[in-house]
Amino acid sequence: MTGRVLLVDISNSFVKLAVANNGRIGRVHRLPTRSLKSSQIREIVAGHSLSGTVAASVVPKKNREVDAACGPGVCWIGPDVKLGVGIDYPNPRGIGPDRLANAAGCAAHYGVPAIVVDFGTAVTFDVISAEGNYIGGVIAPGLGALTEYLHDHTALLPLIRLRKPGAAVGRSTEGAMLSGAVHGYRGLVAEIIRQVRREAFPHHRPKVVVTGGDAELIASGLPLFTAVDPLLTLRGLLVVAQLNL
C-alpha cells in the first residue's frame, strides 16, 4: 500500500487520529471521545487524498462518525483482517480491537515473544507467543480510575494530578495518595508481568513494550521494559493498512 491513509484509534476517553503518508505517521490529533463528530474528522483530513482508513474502536456508538466522515470501505480492525500475527484464543471476537492493533504493532516493530502493556482507562496486558500468536492477556483498572475512585468514594481525599511522588512516605494527604498510586501501581504492573512470564514464557525472555497515557510515569520506576512507545496502537493500525488496503 502506498499513499495516504487515515489511522483512527477510538478509546474510552480519547480518539487519536493521524494521516500516514507512505508508511510514516504524521501529526497525531487527540480528541475527547464523548464529543467526537464527523465534522472534526473531515477537518483533519481536508486537503489529503486518502487511499483508505483503518480504525480500531472500543466505543462502537462512535463508529458512525468515522463512517460518515470517511465513507464506505473503512477497515475496522477485528480478527477477520490480516494483522501480521495469528490468534490462538477461544473467542477471537472478544478481543478488543485496540489490543489487536497493539499486538500487530509490537510484532512488526519489536518482535516476538512479547507482552504489550497499554495504560489507558484500563491497563491491559496482551501476550504474543514465540510462534507469533495472540494468546490472551490481563485487564486491570487504570491508574486514573483508581485515584478517581478514592476521590469519589471518600469525604476528604482530593482528586490528585498524577505525577512522580516526591517520596515514598507522604508528608501531606496528596503526597501520601501519590505514593500509594504510583508506587502501588508499579507493584501491580511488576507482579502481573512476573506471573505472565512464569506461566507463558518459562523458556523465553519476552520483550515488554508499553504504551498509553501513564506509560512514561510508571515505566520510569521499573527496569522491566524493552521500549516505551506512545504511538504503538497507531503503528499497529498502519501495519494493518499495509496488509489489507
Are 22 and 40 in a shared domain? yes
Are 119 and 106 in a shared domain? no
Are 100 and 128 in a shared domain? no
Are 104 and 122 in a shared domain? no
Of 9, 67, 80, 98, which residue is the catalytic one?
98
Are 118 and 215 in a shared domain? yes
Are 147 and 166 in a shared domain? yes
Are 78 and 155 in a shared domain? no
pLDDT classification of 72: cutoffs 50, 70, 90: confident
Are 97 and 120 in a shared domain? no
In this prediction, residue 3 carries a pLDDT of 80
- DSSP assignment of 154-202 equals -SS---PPP---S-SS-SSHHHHHHHHHHHHHHHHHHHHHHHHHHHH-T
pLDDT classification of 226: cutoffs 50, 70, 90: very high
CA distance linking residue 21 with residue 2, whole number of Å = 8
Are 31 and 81 in a shared domain? yes
Per the structure, the complete domain to which residue 149 belongs is given by 114-228
Work out how many domains the chain is built from and give that number. Answer: 2
To the query of whether residue 229 is one of the catalytic residues in this protein, the response is no
Are 60 and 124 in a shared domain? no
Look up the CATH number of the domain holding residue 203: 3.30.420.40
Are 95 and 147 in a shared domain? no
Q: pLDDT tens-digit profile of 119-164?
A: 988 999 999 999 999 999 999 999 888 899 999 999 989 999 999 9
